[in-house]
Amino acid sequence: MDTSRRPKPLTRTLREIDEARSPVTGLATDYPVNWHIEPHVHTRHQLIYAVRGVMVVQAEAGRWVVPPTRAIWMLAGMTHEIRCIGEVHMRSLQVTTDAAPKLLGETQAVGISPLLRELIHAAMEIQQPYVSGTRNARVMRLILDELRALPVLPLHLHMPSDARLLRICEFLQQQLDDSSTMADWARRLTVDVKTIQRLFVKETGMTFGQWRQQARLLRALELLATGEKVIDVALALGYESPSAFANMFRKQFGQTPSQFFVEG
């Protein structure tokens, strides 16, 4: 990657964050259309959040599609990469591991409340290191309180480690309109249907059908984020009609496709 084109942080650098030793630090960076943040790791926990644009976050723990109303709580030490869908204005929080002993215990997608969104904006302006007992320290303390109450959201797609299942999943991610059944895959892989069924639940926590449905819906989020029409997304992903797609979307996310990207 041409490092001369690498976006510059609008607030502070990761080195400055480490040197500050503050429990919570904000980091603001704007990324151009379709920017790819290569695999990397942080020594702190991170709330990956963007006030504009959609991110596809890939980590050891799985894959997430993240619109501006959502975020990813990324555990310290976990390698991850980010693909920007359109222009992305990222406003992330870096949290020391000792400051957040009772926060979310795993990497996952979370909802962002209106209050937390405003607190994140405020964190970007706070000078580091901040002094205990000051307004800045109280703002950061409130952020930690809000992080403890984050609702977990179903934006995760867990990839299996079994080579046979991985072959199925990688194919489906490229051909999400494929209608092959589990029996079809069992014949192709010369494996018993019950074996595939058992392994899917064991390794992904989902049945074959649930995993494919989740993969389709997460891909739908990417397409909708780029401005694709609901009818085109529904047909591209193998749904019989836009209404069938919208019903499944609402069942999974609790909102219609049009509501999903609207900030609360």
- Predicted confidence (pLDDT) per residue in 182-206, tens digit: 999 999 999 999 999 999 999 988 8
- The residue range of the domain holding 68 is 3-148
pLDDT above 80 for 237: yes
- Specify if 153 maps to a domain: no
Write down which residue in 98, 123, 148 finishes a domain.
148
Residue closest to 53 by CA, chosen among 28, 26, 81, 31: 31
pLDDT at 19: 61
pLDDT at 116: 92
The reply to whether 108 and 191 lie within a common domain is no
pLDDT above 90 for 107: no
Q: Which residues of 101-140 are buried (b: 16+ CB within 10 A; e: fewer)?
A: eebbeebbbbebeeebbebbebbbebebbbeeeeebbebb
pLDDT above 80 for 108: yes
The reply to whether 165 and 256 lie within a common domain is yes
Residue 253 pLDDT grade (very low, low, confident, very high; cuts 50, 70, 90): confident
Report the share of the chain in percent with pLDDT over 70: 91
- Specify if 35 maps to a domain: yes
The reply to whether 50 and 136 lie within a common domain is yes
Write down which residue in 89, 115, 148 finishes a domain.
148
pLDDT at 201: 93
- Specify if 247 maps to a domain: yes
The reply to whether 219 and 111 lie within a common domain is no
The reply to whether 100 and 162 lie within a common domain is no
The reply to whether 227 and 122 lie within a common domain is no
pLDDT above 60 for 4: no
59: left (phi over 0), alpha (psi -120 to 50) or beta: beta
Contact status, residue 11 vs residue 123, Cβ threshold 8 Å: no
Cα–Cα distance, 152 to 110 (Å, whole number): 4
Write down which residue in 116, 148, 180 finishes a domain.
148
pLDDT at 262: 65
pLDDT at 259: 77
123-162 pLDDT, tens digit each: 999 988 888 889 999 999 999 999 888 887 777 788 888 9
Residue 14 pLDDT grade (very low, low, confident, very high; cuts 50, 70, 90): low
Which residue's entry shows tokens 């919208």?
246
| pTM tops 0.75, yes or no | no
Count CB atoms within 10 A of the CB of residue 231.
Answer: 14
